[in-house]
Amino acid sequence: MSSVATTPRFKLNAHEALTDPRLQRALVHARNFVPRRAAALERLPEFEALRDSARDIKDHTLAHLDLYLETYERKVLEAGGHVHWARDAAEARQIFLDLANARGAKRVTKGKSMISEEIGLNQAMEAAGIEAVETDLGEYIIQLRNEAPSHIIAPAIHVTRDDVEADFRKFHTDLPTDRDLARPEQLLAEARGVLRDKFLSADIGVTGANFLVAETGTSIIVTNEGNGDLTQILPKVHVVIASLEKIVPTLEDAAQLLRVLARSATGQDMSVYTTLSTGPRRSDDPDGPEEYHVILLDNGRTAMMGTPFEDMLRCIRCGACMNHCPVYQQIGGHAYGWVYPGPMGAVLTPSLIGVAEGGQLPNASTFCGRCESVCPMRIPLPKMMRHWREREFERGLTPAVVRYGLKAWAFLATKPTLYRWLTDVNLRVLALLGRKRGRFSWMPFVSAWTDTRDFPAPQGATFQAQWRARSGATE
Ligand code: SF4
């Protein structure tokens, strides 16, 4: 992928993001998803029951993954399509390039697909002399800017309207320079006009899949722009690239998941387009591709099964966890440095690329628990981030100051009398030192806090002392 950074630079990236006023202005829009989701849930009293049902569907599917994948493959073949199994990103890229080269493909249109970001498909196509054209508006904008998506459902959320106008003027040089691009609808119309020719002249259309249905061999995508439909219907060849865990047993199961997906993602009751594709065009179909291929990617998913991270495979990529995450809301997605940002990325990234590369991300959490509370699939994200922190610690990847700090805390935590005495003394000293101003603007060891906000001077006894006093406990 065209990553803007690598995950080991997370802290630096986060600092840059926090001090970037343009990005901070753009990120205000990410917070709009929160009230929209809340309003959508108000309209659906059975939402909590639907979450349970959605979780159970995915848990059942994962417990019988081999069975459903084999059924899915059989059904795709029966419908006249082809299934290609890819163990990792390199295999998936090669399968796609072989398909494209064998057909002499020169231009490929693409619907939004995080999996294609994960495998670096655009870069592979570019190296092979094939033009990749993103057709989702957000993806198109960031492709012009040579950037990676910063959100899994709103890839250009870090870009302002002014940025888009400037980019369109810079890249659409064959259009009149005095054209009016002041309104979002005008930008949309221009992108639509530019992309129309690309849709009509593409040799292959690539989409991801929100769900793959085992009982029918169907792939399902949801979009709000209709670009996915044009991508998969107009070219002669449609290639679906999806990871294994997108499988669900039946169309009814997919319908259940669709009911929680859009509400959790954008606050819509349903996305504008929900498109089902089963095999290539039949003789009596008015349109559709002549060839239909599915590349099924593992890339570390099966290795997550049976581990504390298996629950992550329930993720339906709605983005609710990042929309509600106070860390994501402040720094956006690029700071995470790889394909998947926010809390889901903090769990998935180390699972897919290793804790040495992605181990900083599980630390990007306040553990407020909002991500888990809004996740439609009830994925215990904070618990899994804790697991990753443990592994990072066990492998000696945690910074020395944290390791020794934790060791010191563990020593004290097993000696309650000493712990209480030390915290009590500490509290009294801080209360004395801070009594004039009531706060500290600088303090040793916590300068990361005091750099941006004051540290309040203690006002009373420690929490434990107050609790003991109230409960009458002696220990
Ligand atoms: S972890 Fe949950 S909330 Fe986050 S993207 Fe996945 S399904 Fe949505």
Average pLDDT, the chain: 94
Task: Over range 93-122, report the average pLDDT.
Answer: 97
Is there a domain that residue 239 lies in?
Answer: yes
Q: Which helix (H) or strand (E) holds 343?
A: helix 342-353
Full-model pTM: 0.90
Residue 92 Cα to ligand 1 midpoint, Å, equals: 24
Q: Point out the domain boundary residue: 281, 299, 317.
A: 299
Q: Which residues line ligand 1 (CB under 6 A)?
A: 264, 315-321, 344, 375-377, 379
pLDDT exceeds 60 at position 2: no
- What digits encode the pLDDT tens for the residues 271-308? 999 999 999 999 999 999 999 999 999 999 999 999 99
- What digits encode the pLDDT tens for the residues 162-176? 999 999 999 999 999
Verify that 175 and 269 share a domain, yes or no: yes
In the numeric block, the tokens 């860390």 are attached to 327
Give, rounded to a whole angstrom, the gap between the first and last alpha carbons of the chain.
55
Instruction: Determine the distance from the C-alpha atom of residue 208 to the mean position of all C-alpha atoms in its chain, rounded to a whole number.
Output: 14
Per-residue model confidence (pLDDT) at position 6:
61
Q: How many domains does the chain fold into?
A: 3
Is there a domain that residue 10 lies in?
Answer: no
Q: What is the spatial distance between Cα 357 and Cα 337, in angstroms, rounded to a whole number?
A: 10
State which ligand 1 atom lies nearest to the alpha carbon of 265.
8
Verify that 380 and 414 share a domain, yes or no: no
Verify that 362 and 253 share a domain, yes or no: no
The residue whose CA has the least distance to atom 7 of ligand 1 is 315
The residue whose CA has the least distance to atom 4 of ligand 1 is 321
Q: Which two three-digit tokens encode residue 385?
A: 């981030």
Per-residue model confidence (pLDDT) at position 131:
98
The CATH number for 98's domain is 3.40.50.10420
For Cα atoms 45, 50, 51, give the angle at the middle one, nearest 5 degrees: 110
- What digits encode the pLDDT tens for the residues 70-83? 999 999 999 999 99
Verify that 258 and 128 share a domain, yes or no: yes
Is there a domain that residue 11 lies in?
Answer: no
Verify that 238 and 122 share a domain, yes or no: yes
Is there a domain that residue 7 lies in?
Answer: no
Verify that 72 and 105 share a domain, yes or no: yes
In the numeric block, the tokens 């639907």 are attached to 50
Per-residue model confidence (pLDDT) at position 259:
96
pLDDT exceeds 60 at position 67: yes
Verify that 211 and 342 share a domain, yes or no: no
pLDDT exceeds 70 at position 1: no
Verify that 462 and 359 share a domain, yes or no: no
Per-residue model confidence (pLDDT) at position 461:
85
75-105: burial string, b at 16+ Cβ within 10 Å, e else:
bbeebebbbbebeebebbbebbbebbeeeeb
Is there a domain that residue 12 lies in?
Answer: no
| DSSP per position, 234-299 | SSSEEEEEEEGGGEES-HHHHHHHHHHHHHHHTS-SS-SEEEEE-SS--TT-SS--SEEEEEEE-T
Distant-in-sequence, close-in-space partners of 428: CB < 8 Å, separation ≥ 6: none
State which ligand 1 atom lies nearest to the alpha carbon of 344.
1
- What digits encode the pLDDT tens for the residues 121-156? 999 999 999 999 999 999 999 999 999 999 999 999
Domain range for residue 90?
35-299
Is there a domain that residue 313 lies in?
Answer: no
Is there a domain that residue 2 lies in?
Answer: no
Verify that 285 and 376 share a domain, yes or no: no
Q: Point out the domain boundary residue: 299, 318, 339.
A: 299
Is there a domain that residue 318 lies in?
Answer: no
Per-residue model confidence (pLDDT) at position 3:
43
Q: Point out the domain boundary residue: 394, 410, 426.
A: 394
State which ligand 1 atom lies nearest to the alpha carbon of 316.
7
Distant-in-sequence, close-in-space partners of 252: CB < 8 Å, separation ≥ 6: none
State which ligand 1 atom lies nearest to the alpha carbon of 314.
7
Verify that 276 and 364 share a domain, yes or no: no
Q: What is the spatial distance between Cα 290 and Cα 83, in angstroms, rounded to a whole number?
A: 15
Verify that 169 and 218 share a domain, yes or no: yes
The CA distances from residue 408 to 2, 403, 404, 413, 452, in Å, are 41, 9, 6, 9, 27
Verify that 273 and 388 share a domain, yes or no: no
The CA distances from residue 374 to 53, 224, 319, 329, 392, in Å, are 15, 22, 10, 15, 27
